[in-house]
Every structure is written in C-alpha cells, then in structure tokens.
Amino acid sequence: MERVHEPDLAGVAAGATYLRGEWCEQVFAQDAPLTLELGCGQGMFAAELARRFPSTNVVGVDLKGHRFWRGAKAVHVGGLLNAAFLRARIQWLDHFFGPGEVGEVWLTFSDPQNGDKRGTKRLTSPHYLRLYQSMLREEGVVHVKTDSPEFFENTLRDGPLAEMVVEDSCDDVHGAEPGRFDPVLTDLLAFKTAYEQRWIDEGRSVHYVRLRRQAAVDVEQLARAKRMLQGPPGAARPHFTRPAR
Ligand SMILES: C[S@@+](CC[C@H](N)C(=O)[O-])C[C@H]1O[C@@H](n2cnc3c(N)ncnc32)[C@H](O)[C@@H]1O
C-alpha cells in the first residue's frame, strides 16, 4: 500500500539508511514532529493517533508487515496523509530516524521479555531507551502501556538508568479515578489496542509509564547500546535507495 515502507532489511543491517531525516519532506505533506508506535501490531493505534492529531506525523513500526495491514488500510481509506507504516526491526531504528526527528514514542504491549538479562530484547531496557533518546527531541517522551507487572517495574527501574525522568506512572489505567490524567491523555489511553483488549478480557490490569528525555545522550553509552543491539558497525554504509512502488 501507498503508505507502507518496506526497506531491504539486509541492506539496513549492512549499514544503509532509509528516509533518515527525510520523513517530513519525502513522505508527509507537512513539516511536523514524528510520533512513533514501536511494535505497532495491527497498527490501529498508530492510525488513531494520526486521526486525532492531524498536525503530527505518525509512523507505525513492526517487523511483521502483514500485521499492520489493517492500520495501513484504515490510513489509506481515511486519507490520513500524516500516517505511514515501516516494516523494520526496532534495533535498527537509528537507520530510519535521525537526531531530533522524533517527538514521541509509544510502546504498546511490547513482549515483556522478563528473562532478558543482557537488555537486548526488552524494548525498555537501557540499551533501547538510549537508542530512542538519540532520535528524540529535547524533552521528547516515551509512553509505555503494558499488561505485564514485570515489564512495568523493569521500565520504572531502567528509565533513570538511561538518564530518563519517570514523569508519570499508573498501575491501573482503566480503573484510575476521573481526572487522574489530563483530558487529552485520558481519551488517548481509553483507546484499546488488539492485545490490550485481549488482556483486559483475561482480567488483567493495564499499566502506563511516561519517560521524558532530560539530557543529551552520552555518545559512548549510545555506541555501547548500538553494539549490544546491532553488533559492531558494518564496514560499508551504502545509501539505501527507496524501492520503486
Ligand atoms: C505483543 S504484540 C503488540 C502489538 C500491538 N502493539 C498491540 O498492542 O496490539 C508485539 C508486536 O511487536 C512486534 N515486535 C516485537 N519485537 C520487535 C522488534 N524488535 N522490531 C519490530 N517489531 C517488533 C511484533 O511483531 C508484534 O507485532
């Protein structure tokens, strides 16, 4: 579909970049901050973000392209020119987005990966949080919604380890008292993703954390995070050209 991007993952792993720093100019009809939904699954939340916030550009990212077919269809049918989907591995995110290009990141019901001691699988480990910060604007935020108490606790612990401020946290979003969140966030958190509905139906509570970037990322820490997530830098870094549609 028109608004779906499927870069050659092998090329990216070999060092290529794709639309990095060029999303607003090449893909969207407006110059606006990007909001990313990472591990977007069906992509309906990303589509909803685009519908609710027309002056924001939204990119849903997932490795499994068939999963976001529904969201891509909704964006296409709804004529949402401020939304796109990217089929990619999150560990290579800095090959797709440049420093300061992203305003907000949403992590919705990420796999908890509770046994991930090296921090290379859990999407809120310090390695991943440093990677996100390298593309976040100053004061940019990472929103996390999860049904997993362990993922929630690990995120609260690891935010400060990655120099991020825990700005808000709540262990029962849908049971929170009225006025607990500002009205815009209240409405947004009320939207349920596919996995969220599944976990609610099983009687699980939904947790929320918001982390804010407070400092520039330490380049050495970032290099270490990238080595952990991506391996050593590739020898060649050819520029990746967009596939013909
Ligand atoms: C549990 S599902 C949640 C889907 C959706 N956010 C929801 O709430 O319905 C996790 C999603 O993250 C994607 N995912 C997991 N690890 C990923 C990675 N490293 N890179 C890209 N996508 C990833 C999976 O393909 C899957 O669609």
pLDDT in tens, 129-143: 999 999 999 999 999
240 confidence band (pLDDT: 50, 70, 90): very low
Rounded-to-integer distance, Cα 197 and Cα 193, Å: 6
- Is position 210 within any domain? yes
Domain that holds residue 14: 4-230
- Is position 245 within any domain? no
pLDDT tens per residue, range 174-210: 999 999 999 999 999 999 999 999 999 999 999 999 9
How far is it between the farthest Cα atoms of the chain?
Answer: 54
Q: How far, in Å, from the CA of 235 to the mean position of ligand 1?
A: 30
Which residues are part of the catalytic machinery?
A: 111
Please check whether residue 135 is in contact with residue 59, taking contact to mean a CB–CB distance below 8 angstroms.
Answer: no
Helix, strand, coil percentages (3-state) for the chain, rounded to 5, are: 35, 20, 45
Report the domain count for the chain.
1
108 lines ligand 1 (CB under 6 A): yes
162 lines ligand 1 (CB under 6 A): no
- Is position 236 within any domain? no
